Amino acid sequence: MDINNLIKETTIVYDLKEEKEVFWVNPEYGKKAVLPVDQADIFDAEARFQRFAPYFKEEFPETTQSNGILESPLTPIPKMKEAVTKFEHYSLTGNVYLKEDNKLPISGSIKSRGGIYEVLKFAEQVAIESGMLTYMDNYSILRESKFHKLFSNYGVSVGSTGNLALSIGIVAAHLGFQVTVHMSHDAKKWKKDLLRAKGVNVIEYPGSFTSAITAGRKKAAEDPKMYFIDDEGSYDLFLGYSVSAIRLQKQLKDQNIQVDKDHPLFVYLPAGVGGSPSGVSFGLKTILGENVHPIFAEPTHIPSVLLGMATGLNDKISVYDIGLDGLTEADGLAVGRPSRIAGKIMKTLLLGIGTFEDARVLAYTAQLWDTENIKVEPSATGVLLP
Ligand SMILES: *Cc1c(COP(=O)(O)O)cnc(C)c1O
C-alpha cells in the first residue's frame, strides 16, 4: 500500500489528513450480507447477564434497584436540541434522545456492557468447568470465598484508554481474578488511581492505545493462566454491547417512541476502536430492522474507523499512517487503528461516519450540562453532529 498515492487519489483520505470535518456516506449501506453473528447470539448474551443479575444485586449495591441489571435511561433532551440547532444554525424535525450510558453502573460508560460481559463469560466458564457451579444455581453464590479462591488462580488482562479497564478491572477484581490493565498515555489519572485502589495492576505506556494493547496481548500470550480481553477483535465484547438493542426496544415502547418507515431512528454513536458502536448497531439492526440507521462519530484527529472503512483497508491502516497526530480531548475515542470486527460487520449496516473537532465537543459538553444538567465526557457529545 502506497500511502502517498492513497492520499492523492482518494478525496476523503486527503480531507482526513487535512483534519477537516467530513461526513462519509457508506456506499455499501443496506446491501445484503452474511454475518458471522445473529439474533441467537444476542439472546444468549442477554441470558448470561440475567444469570449474573443476582450476583450484581448483592455485590454491587448500586444495582440493587434494577435487580442486578446494568442498564441506562433513555432521556429526551429537547433543551439541548434547541441550543445545538441554534448554535449550529440548522433545523431538525423529530426528537432528540440521549441514551445515558454515562449512567451505567460500575464504569459509567458503555464499557459496562461489553467489557463486563466478557469477564462474566470467562468467570462462568471457569466456574462451570470446576464443577462448583451449575447454570441453574443462583449466581450470588459466586460471592463465596471458595469462588474467590478459584478465580484467584487466573489472571484477566486488557489494553485500554481507560473505560474498558475500569469496567473489566472492577468486576474481575470483585470476582477474585488477578487483574492487569495496560493503559495508554491518554488514560486519565483518576481512572488509574481508582483501579489501583481496587487492587488492579496498572501498567502505563508512554505510547498510543495500539502500543498498549499490543504489549498487553504479548505479555498475556506468555502466561497460559492469563485471559486477555482483546478490544481489537473480540466477539464476546461485541455481543455484550449488542444486548443494548433488546433493552432499547423496550424503552422505546415504554416511551411510545415509534420506529417505522415514517419514523426512522437515526442512532449516532461515538467510535474509538469501533467495537462498541458496531455491537450496538448490529443489535439494533437485528432487533429493530431497516428503519434504524446507525451513524458513527469520530474526532478529526483520530478517525480510525472512517479511514479503515472508506479505504476498505479496515485494521490494516492507522491514522498515524496518513500523518495524523491522534490527539483528542475525547480520550475514550483515542484509538488510531480500528478493530478487526468493526469494518467487517458494519460494511453493510452503517449509514455513514461524521468527524468533529475537539472545540465542538467541548462546547457541546458544556451545553449539555447547562441545558439538561447532564454531565458526560467529551467522547459522548461528538454524536450531536450538525
Ligand atoms: C470506548 C468508548 C467509546 C467507543 O467505543 P469503541 O469500542 O472503542 O469504539 C465511546 N464512548 C466512550 C465513553 C467510551 O469509553
Kindly list the structural domains of the chain, giving each domain's residue range(s) and its CATH number in brackets, ordered by start: 3-32+72-100+242-381 (3.40.50.1100), 39-61+108-231 (3.40.50.1100)
Please give the pLDDT value at position 86: 92
Give nearest CA residue, ligand 1 atom 14. 332
* CA distances from residue 88 to 205, 355, 360 in whole angstroms, order as listed: 38, 15, 10
* Torsion angles phi and psi, residue 355, rounded to 5: -115, 155
- Digit-coded pLDDT (tens) for 30-86: 999 999 999 999 999 999 999 999 999 999 999 999 999 999 999 999 999 999 999
CA of 32 to the centre of ligand 1 (A): 27
Give nearest CA residue, ligand 1 atom 10. 270
Please give the pLDDT value at position 210: 86
**Helix or strand or coil: residue 305?**
helix
The ligand 1 atom nearest the CA atom of 279: 7
Please give the pLDDT value at position 6: 84
- Nearest residue to 183 (alpha-carbon basis) of 152, 208, 146: 208
Partners of 102 in beta bridges: none
* CA distances from residue 31 to 26, 101, 352 in whole angstroms, order as listed: 11, 30, 14
The ligand 1 atom nearest the CA atom of 163: 15
Please give the pLDDT value at position 386: 61
Cα–Cα distance, 381 to 379 (Å, whole number):
6
- Digit-coded pLDDT (tens) for 308-327: 999 999 999 999 999 999 99
Residue with cell 450510558: 101
Average pLDDT over residues 241-269: 97
Please give the pLDDT value at position 252: 98
Among 66-70, 174-178, 206-210, the minimum mean pLDDT is found in 206-210
- Tell me: pLDDT of 1 over 70: no
- Tell me: pLDDT of 217 over 80: yes
CA of 342 to the centre of ligand 1 (A): 12
Are 75 and 100 a contacting pair, CB within 8 Å?
A: yes
Please give the pLDDT value at position 187: 84
Partners of 353 in beta bridges: 24, 296
Please give the pLDDT value at position 384: 72
Evaluated on CA atoms 313, 315, 317, 323, the torsion sign reads positive
Identity (one letter) of the amino acid at 178?
A: Q
Candidates 163, 208, 295, 350: which one to mutate for ligand 1, based on the most atoms within 8 Å of Cβ?
Answer: 163
- Tell me: pLDDT of 186 over 80: no
Sheet holding 155-160, edge to edge: 201-204, 178-183, 155-160, 226-229
CA of 45 to the centre of ligand 1 (A): 20
Three cell numbers at 105? 453502573
Residue by residue, DSSP assigns 90-146 as ----S--EEE-GGG-TTTSSTHHHHHHHHHHHHHHHHHHHHTS--TTS-GGGGGSHH
Candidates 333, 339, 377: which one to mutate for ligand 1, based on the most atoms within 8 Å of Cβ?
Answer: 333
The ligand 1 atom nearest the CA atom of 376: 13
Residue by residue, DSSP assigns 240-267 as HHHTHHHHHHHHHHHTT---BTTB-EEE
Ligand 1 site residues, Cβ closer than 6 angstroms: 109-111, 163, 270-277, 332-333, 335, 377, 379-380
The ligand 1 atom nearest the CA atom of 109: 13
Please give the pLDDT value at position 246: 98
Dihedral angle over CA of 102, 108, 112, 115, nearest 10? 120
Candidates 103, 110, 244, 346: which one to mutate for ligand 1, based on the most atoms within 8 Å of Cβ?
Answer: 110
Please give the pLDDT value at position 225: 93
CA of 144 to the centre of ligand 1 (A): 33
Are 282 and 347 a contacting pair, CB within 8 Å?
A: no
Question: Degrees (nearest 5) of the Cα angle 245, 365, 385?
Answer: 60
CA of 111 to the centre of ligand 1 (A): 7
Are 99 and 117 a contacting pair, CB within 8 Å?
A: no
Among 44-48, 146-150, 195-199, 273-277, the minimum mean pLDDT is found in 195-199
Please give the pLDDT value at position 324: 96
- Tell me: pLDDT of 368 over 90: yes
CA of 103 to the centre of ligand 1 (A): 14
CA of 113 to the centre of ligand 1 (A): 11
The ligand 1 atom nearest the CA atom of 237: 7
Identity (one letter) of the amino acid at 371?
A: T
